[in-house]
Structure 1
């Protein structure tokens, strides 16, 4: 990374999509970044575009030991971006158990561990930022994405609780809830042909909004007017109706 002292942001899931764009946003915002993901070649290609302001650490957050290794390697950081995550489309009883537990490990366990490990030094210093990437799936159950939606509901709840707990410490936790986004998520989840992604927001725009909200210390940002309306609407719609609509959209 650069010789100039700049705040450091650690970004997980940085090899593509929202994570890569968040890394770019933080570098534009005069941060150095630590890029974390499984695919070292992707990380190195991204780092080469960031003007010497990036460090690459290849780690698989499906490994329970990865969060502690990352902290040992980086020491305290100024910003933690928990972006790594994935999902799988299908009926709960048909999807492989190992894959579903893997979703929980990355989306919930690793995120919780990283947050718990990196927060105390921030609180001790009296400043720091955490950005947790959830999803509009956090606002209601999603038949066909049952485990993924549940993990994102966890991320939203944890983030909002921590934002309240940390009031007055100089440390903030922001939850970013994007809707359909142009990224590798759809293909990885088996949703490449889903109509939900026909009008997806660009990953760069999602990252722009997430970066701005993080630096402003906001509790929550839902990207896009339609997504904001949807997230609000499901809170007041009859639960059964919302579930039926979600089931038809996701499972047909």
Structure 2
């Protein structure tokens, strides 16, 4: 059996990855901050699918948390074959309304943790000649929408660059860029979602199915839904100056309040 390590594993897209990979027969290393939820999740997946599920409690907004996951990824005796960097969060409010400490924490989790954990994982993967990394970003990466979008744009650019550097080694990297997904994300950030049209919502399990198919095909950037693929196609054709105004108005109209 191969082993997958998933950060932010207890909810949303991370939990969907855990369910799907366990059903496919992969052993798991489940990473999150809540030990109780991790243990309950590990027990359920083990009992349902007969796989081994390790629990690793870690807060990726801290050096100690990142170091704990780096250490697990560097284990050559029980190697990780697939890393899913999914941990992340949103801040409610416009720029300057959000405390600087919260903005810096976002960069720590979305950028520094992704950089360090990817580096820890791919070193061993390259030696073994196989492996994969999925870095969960967002369609916000393609829109000028503050620190969250900027951090996810970094994830996309970083992932594409590393994927090119590791081409031919047997290690695949992919940035996953979904739109709105029904998870705990907005609730945890204190954001309302009643103003978001129903057609914009995606199912986490379907997102994961599309993502794993794209990873198998060697795709470096996955936008896992035809509706969002079409929207992002329009974004590419829209001048950046105009796009900034459009996304700001759309964010006030359809974005989380």
Q: After TM superposition, is the score higher than 0.5?
A: yes
Further displaced range: 178-187 or 70-79: 70-79
Of 128-137 and 223-232, more deviation after overlay is shown by 223-232
Deviations 1:169-195 (A, max 9, x none): 000101110000000111223332353
CA distance in 2, matches of 1:187, 1:159: 28
C-alpha spacing 1:10/1:149, structure 2 compared with 1 (3 Å): same
The number of aligned residues is: 244
- TM-score normalised to the size of structure 1? 0.92
Q: Does the C-alpha gap of structure 1 residues 194 and 155 become closer, same or farther in structure 2, counting only changes over 3 Å?
A: farther
1:215 corresponding residue in structure 2:
216
Show the counterpart of 1:53.
52
Q: Please give the per-residue CA displacement for 1:74-118, whole angstroms capped at 9, x wherever unaligned.
A: 513111110001111311111111111111110111111101111
Distance (whole Å) between structure 2 residues aligned to residue 189 and residue 242 of structure 1:
25
Aligned twin of 1:17: 12
The 1:89/1:105 distance shift into structure 2, 3 A limit, reads same
Distance, in Å, in 2 between the alignment partners of 1:153 and 1:94 is 21
C-alpha distance in structure 2 between counterparts of 1:96 and 1:140, whole Å: 22
1:129–1:217: 8 Å Cα contact kept in structure 2?
no
1:25–1:211 contact (8 Å) kept in structure 2: no
8 Å contact 2:33–2:59 — kept in the other structure?
Answer: yes
Q: Secondary structure at the residue paired with 2:98? A: coil
Q: d(CA) in 2 for partners of 1:171 and 1:180?
A: 29
- Contact conserved, 1:177 with 1:223, CA < 8 A, in 2? yes
Q: Map 1:10-159 to 2 at 5 A.
A: 10-51=5-46, 52-73=51-72, 75=75, 76-142=79-145, 146-159=146-159
Q: How large is the Cα RMSD of the aligned pairs?
A: 1.5
What CA distance in whole angstroms lies between the structure 1 residues aligned with 2:121 and 2:65? 13
Contact 2:59 2:66 in 1 (8 A): no
What's the counterpart of residue 165 of structure 2?
165
Structure 1 runs of 4+ off > 4 angstroms? none
Contact 2:61-2:108 within 8 A present in 1 as well: yes
Measured in 2, the distance between the counterparts of 1:190 and 1:247 equals 20
- CA-CA distance at 1:150 after TM superposition: 0.3
SS at match of 1:121: helix
- Farther off after superposition, 96-105 or 217-226: 217-226
Measured in 2, the distance between the counterparts of 1:218 and 1:23 equals 21
Counterparts of 2:194 and 2:251 in 1: how far apart (Å)?
A: 8
